[in-house]
Chain A
């Protein structure tokens, strides 16, 4: 048989059929996290610290336990005592345990300290009031710069890993430094050097579905868990460790997911529900309310950054340097390293140096949020670039083109790029009618580039053919962006059977091998690659069966448009044999036919984008309207263009929120002030313009069809692009996010 490894002509890939899960989702038939029920089920509720930082002196649960509707109460002692504390991210299981149930100290407003399972959700909620916790309130810190000062309260001694230089505050837990060349020499060559400082606030992913789960765990150490998650194997592994049971004895099923954006790549309530279930010996369901989601899940990090860039009069960047301080809550994990590595990645630089800090404070443990760390760095770097262009009278797209990274460029973070599509996105931006459209008075235009690594990760896929010639495909990556449609398209392309004849299922942890989380923009790349290879392995078997029927060697048969055909005139003269003719009697010709593939693919292929934004600022109130928005991004190959465009638009929409109004607001008491959607201001539909998209396709050499992940790059440029547009419209440089009306009006006043 002959199979082309590379493919550029497609029959199914690139079309836009309805998504397989569409009807379920628009009719309410789809089952999300909170939609599971079990006989005898109890309802769990979690008691949370009202203090930002407090020692837990005692917890008295006796009155709650005596309540007639309460069946179990758990605190930290009900979890495994074998989970080891280690510095930095090495002890991540311990960090997660400490986060889902406080130990000696409550570390942030909203930190879980105890939980109850009762016969109704209302009874559980009311019974929480019967738990008496005695706290010794400690000094707290929620600001990243203050958390690094010598007199800042220490969140946890010994949390810093080997990377942190001596003499730093114990709240600095990881340190990253990289780059190449000689930045001082580079600055000396520049005609203009600009150095500036920038601040961003923490934001939440704002997924519409709160965390929810249904857990069963018996005293035999066997359990079942249903939960809304981006990755049920990581949930399985983590919960098993935290409960002290064997991983394989816990079967985890991922529900449909109402948004994740990185925030559902870890566990919060799942281990607690399992602990309650083990104690009550009944199934326990926990559903977070929105306030709990804001206070006690994983928002992104806040950042404080200094960036210095030198440029020649012709726009050549001579040197670039950045210091990025990220606060990620009361645990290691703030992506200061990612911010540093991504900040200058779009550019071909001779001299570059970047430093990143991971800093702890009394806030919830940060989680991933689309391209974690990258948007903040891009905000700082692309703002300085914009200012350099303004001062030197240069076109911002031309300057970026002049310095753009390309195939062979040594990236700011080390490796040399393979084939990449940054230049193509910039050229598309320059040619786009948006870039040359006239602006009205009071409006400004901004542009920015953005970069994300993309990721491969452990991947396992199985495909089974049915006797009628249809196919079922089992993947292990929860569908957060239309991936069932993309997988079905890729399988259809290989098998040559209609898209509609393929049913894609997100398999549970008991029915497929380990799969990494749906994160890192990896699903269409990695599960897609595995789907293609699983389908090819099934095709190989189909060809063997046809060869046997024809009585010719297997390698004399090839697969074309869903049929086995002789590979050439010498192979024999046989009519093409359709797939369904082979599967119809497969039971008697050698048994069921399936295909399987598992690997940790390494060729994810980095992705770049360029955004163009027009903004209008009301000079009397400081209110910003985004009047036009265009996203241009390299997708490598768009499998289902609707969902590629959806990712582009979604990144822009979330970026608009982050840039303009979203922020975690902490009071002097360290309590979160805006833990509901009324005051945590994500954009509403009428806040957004139509977001135009341009899909650039520079194929990724690491994927059979050329796919590059698209889920994350789209949120990298918006903060900077919008800040550049607003700064032009307002006539004053905005260095702090969000650019809320009070901040803009104050900046205008200060500017006189």
Chain B
């Protein structure tokens, strides 16, 4: 196994482009090292990107949007009061991953690139409209989060490409987001269903919405029908029922050790209603 710690993303990209066999990028390592130890993935090339300048920075841009370095950890996000205030749903989704120890290492970018359909932070990022900057042999490009995973364990990143930054839109006025997941325990578990909801109000009426589901299909879903079900409503009971039905209808899950098709489909509707209520309350400035 070859280990590299490049000083720039361009160098990292070049190393990956020229590597043979299995290549993995190492940021937090909370998936890569676990997979290595359990012999699921034994990389031939391991490229540590933590030593690149600025990779742990959390920066608010003048327009109110945010740039997060690829090695910014869950713990650093949760301790960043302004980020928590702007995007509580994104931060709570990240915060649900693993233990306190894991929070000190785990990153949004790693959670995305691991490409698990059950990744907690991904539905929250999709709902929030987060994009990533991808650096590759041909320079950089900006890609929506929902376009990164293509199947369980697979991404749209080409050989030599890696994510070099993560961009969260400006929160703006009257907006709120929320993430909820179902697990049979209270923590330290993998989502059986995950739901991210992000919306903006005009008065009491929902003007914009994005709803994303995790763990109910091969990739995280952005569900337009869910957004349509609540846009133009005050999230009244009828809207919530339409929302739940749309969420359940979007599910294409599997039976496995973590849950059944019927369970995931049903609970996706339940959690979508609950997450929407929280996001709505947050958009109104209520504590939730």
Name A's B-contacting residues (CB within 8 A). 125, 289, 291, 620-623, 660-661, 665, 673-674, 676, 678-679, 681, 683-684, 686-687, 740-742, 745-746, 749
Across the interface, do A681 and B259 meet the contact criterion of CB distance under 8 Å? Answer: no
The reply to whether B257 and A661 form a contact with Cβ atoms under 8 Å apart is: no
Q: How many B residues touch A, CB cutoff 8 Å?
A: 22
Which residues of B136-154 are within 8 A (CB) of A?
Answer: none
> Which A-chain residue is minimally distant from B37 (CB atoms)?
A289
Complex contact B262–A686 (CB within 8 A):
no
Give the chain A neighbours of B190 by CB distance below 8 A.
Answer: 678-679
A679 engages B257 (CB within 8 Å): yes
Asked if B270 contacts A681 (CB within 8 A), the reply is no
Assess whether B260 is in contact with A742, with CB atoms less than 8 Å apart. yes
The answer to whether A684 and B187 touch across the interface, beta carbons within 8 angstroms, is yes
Q: Are A674 and B257 in contact (CB under 8 A)?
A: yes
Chain B nearest Cβ from A444, distance in angstroms: 18
Inside 8 A of B267's CB, which chain A residues have their CB? 620-621, 741, 745
| Minimum distance in angstroms from B127 CB to a CB of chain A | 21
For this complex, 27 residue pairs linking A to B, each with C-beta atoms less than 8 Å apart, are A289-B38, A620-B267, A620-B270, A621-B182, A622-B263, A661-B184, A661-B185, A673-B256, A674-B257, A676-B38, A678-B188, A678-B189, A678-B190, A679-B258, A681-B184, A684-B185, A686-B186, A687-B185, A741-B184, A741-B192, A741-B259, A741-B267, A742-B259, A745-B262, A745-B266, A746-B260, A746-B262
Complex: chain A residue closest to B188, CB-CB: A684
Bound Cα distance from A665 to B257, whole angstroms? 7
- Hey, which chain B residues are within 8 Å of A749, CB to CB? 262
Q: How far is the CA of A89 from the CA of B258 in the complex (A)?
A: 37
Most A CB within 10 A of own CB, among B184, B186, B189, B256: B184
Q: Which residues of B contact A621 (CB under 8 A)?
A: 182, 267, 270-271
Q: How far is the CA of A679 from the CA of B186 in the complex (A)?
A: 14
Q: Which 10 A-B residue pairings sit nearest by Cβ, starting from the closest? A: A742-B263, A686-B186, A620-B270, A665-B257, A673-B257, A742-B260, A674-B257, A661-B184, A684-B188, A687-B186
Q: How far is the CB of B172 from chain A (nearest CB, A)?
A: 32
* Pairwise interchain contact B185-A745, C-beta atoms closer than 8 A: no
Q: Give the A-binding residues of B (Cβ under 8 A).
A: 38-39, 182, 184-190, 192, 256-260, 262-263, 266-267, 270-271
A-side contacts of B187, CB under 8 Å:
684, 686
Whether A291 lies near B184 (C-beta < 8 A) is: no
Alpha-carbon gap, A458 to B184, bound state (A): 43
- For the complex, give the distance between the alpha carbons of A407 and B149 in Å: 68
Complex Cα gap A125–B259 (Å): 33
Q: With A673-B257, A679-B258 in contact, is A684–B186 under 8 Å at CB? A: yes
**Chain B residue at smallest Cβ distance from A679:** B257
Residue of A nearest to B261 (CB): A742
Q: Besides the contacts A622-B263, A745-B267, what 17 more A-B pairs have beta carbons closer than 8 Å?
A: A125-B39, A289-B38, A620-B267, A661-B184, A661-B185, A673-B257, A679-B190, A683-B185, A684-B185, A684-B188, A686-B185, A687-B186, A741-B184, A741-B259, A741-B267, A742-B260, A745-B266
Complex CA gap A749/B260 in Å reads 14
Inter-chain contacts of A746 with B (CB < 8 A):
260, 262-263
Q: Are A660 and B184 in contact (CB under 8 A)?
A: yes
Nearest CB to that of A745 among chain B residues? B263
Interfacial chain B residues near A620, Cβ < 8 Å: 267, 270
Closest Cβ of chain B to A443, distance in Å, is: 17
- The chain A residue with its CB closest to the CB of B273 is A620
A348 to B38, CA, bound (A): 53
Are A681 and B263 in contact, CB atoms less than 8 angstroms apart?
no
Q: Which residues on the A side are within 8 Å of B258 (C-beta)? A: 679
User: Considering the chains assembled together, what is the distance between the CA atoms of A673 and B256 in angstroms?
Assistant: 9
Interface residue SS majority, chain A: loop
Query: Across the two chains, which residue of chain A brings its CB closest to B264?
Result: A742
A623 contacts B182, CB within 8 Å? yes
B156 to chain A, nearest CB (A): 27
* Complex contacts, B39 vs chain A, CB 8 Å: 125
Contacts A620-B270, A661-B184, A674-B257; A291 near B38 (Cβ below 8 A): yes
* Distance between Cα atoms of A692 and B188 in the complex (Å): 25
**A681 and B270 alpha carbons, distance in the complex (Å):** 23
* Closest B residue by C-beta to A673: B257
Query: What CA separation (Å) do A125 and B36 show in the bound complex?
Result: 13
**For residue A742, which residue of chain B has the nearest CB?**
B263
Chain B residues with CB under 8 A of A660? 184
For B263, what are the chain A residues with a Cβ–Cβ distance below 8 Å?
Answer: 622, 741-742, 745-746
How far, in whole Å, are A92 and B200 apart by their CA atoms in the complex? 69
B235 to chain A, nearest CB (A): 17
User: Given the complex, which residues of A lie within 8 Å of B188, measured CB to CB?
Assistant: 678, 684
Q: Which A-chain residue is minimally distant from B190 (CB atoms)?
A: A678
Nearest Cβ on chain B to A293's Cβ, whole angstroms:
13
Give the Cβ gap from B24 to chain A, nearest Cβ, in Å: 18
Residues in chain A near residue B266, CB distance under 8 A: 745
Q: Which residue of A lies closest to B260 (CB)?
A: A742
What is the CA–CA distance of A741 and B191 in the complex, to the nearest angstrom? 13
A531 smallest CB distance to B (angstroms): 41
Chain A neighbourhood of B262, CB < 8 A: 742, 745-746, 749
Give CA–CA (A665, B184) in the complex, Å: 15
Residues of chain B contacted by A661 (CB below 8 angstroms): 184-185
Query: B273 to nearest A CB, angstroms?
Result: 9
Q: How far is the CA of A676 from the CA of B189 in the complex (A)?
A: 12
Known: A741-B263, A745-B263, A745-B266. A681 touches B186 (CB 8 A): no
- Give CA–CA (A745, B182) in the complex, Å: 13
Q: Nearest B residue to A684 by beta-carbon distance?
A: B188
Tell me the minimal C-beta distance from A479 to chain B in angstroms: 29
| B residues less than 8 Å from A742 (CB atoms) | 259-260, 262-263
B185: contacting residue among A665, A674, A676, A681, CB under 8 A:
A681
Q: Give Cα A589–Cα B141 distance, bound, in whole angstroms.
A: 93
Q: Which of A673, A678, A741 contacts B182 (CB 8 A)?
A: A741
Nearest CB on A from B112, distance (A): 20
Chain B residues whose CB sits within 8 angstroms of the CB of A741 once the complex forms: 182, 184, 192, 259, 263, 267
In the assembled complex, how far is the CB of residue A77 from the closest CB belonging to chain B, in whole angstroms?
28
The distance from the CB of A673 to the nearest CB of chain B, in whole angstroms, is 5
- B189 and A681 within 8 A (CB): yes
Q: How far is the CB of B277 from chain A (nearest CB, A)?
A: 13
CB B254 to nearest CB in A, in angstroms, measures 12
Closest beta carbon of chain B to A710's beta carbon, Å:
28
CA separation between A172 and B144, bound complex, in Å?
A: 59
Give complex CA distance A621, B263 in Å. 8
B257 contact set on A, CB distance < 8 A: 665, 673-674, 679
Q: Please give the distance in Å from B244's CB to the nearest CB on chain A.
A: 10
Across the interface, name the chain B residue whose C-beta is closest to A663: B257
User: For the complex, what is the distance from the CA of A673 to the CA of B254, rounded to whole Å?
Assistant: 14
Cα distance A661–B257 when bound, in Å? 11
Residue of A nearest to B244 (CB): A620
- Provide the residues of chain A in CB contact with B259, threshold 8 Å: 741-742
Of B185, B187, B262, the most chain A CB neighbours within 10 A belong to B185
- In the assembled complex, which residues on chain A have CB atoms less than 8 Å from the CB atom of B182? 621, 623, 741
Residues on B with C-beta less than 8 A from A687 are 185-186
Give the complex CA separation of A665 and B270 in angstroms.
26
* Residues of B close to A623: CB separation below 8 A: 182, 184
Inter-chain CA distance A622–B39, complex, in Å, is: 35
Q: Once the chains are docked, how many angstroms separate the CA of A678 from the CA of B267? A: 21
CA separation between A683 and B262, bound complex, in Å?
24
Contacts of A681 in B (CB 8 A): 184-185, 189
- Taking the nearest CB of chain A, how far is it from the CB of B101, in angstroms? 14
Residues of chain A within 8 A of B192, CB atoms compared: 741
Complex CA gap A746/B266 in Å reads 10
CB distance from A740 to the nearest CB of B (A): 6
Complex: A660 Cα to B184 Cα, angstroms: 9
Nearest CB of chain B from residue A282's CB, rounded to whole Å: 26
Distance (whole angstroms) from the CB of A231 to the closest CB of chain B: 31
Could you say which residues of chain A place their CB within 8 Å of the CB of B184? Answer: 623, 660-661, 681, 740-741
Residue of chain B at shortest CB distance from A291 = B38
The interface residues of chain B lying within 8 Å CB-to-CB of A678 are 188-190
Q: How far is the CA of A676 from the CA of B188 in the complex (A)?
A: 12
Point out the residues of chain B lying under 8 angstroms from A686, CB to CB. 185-187
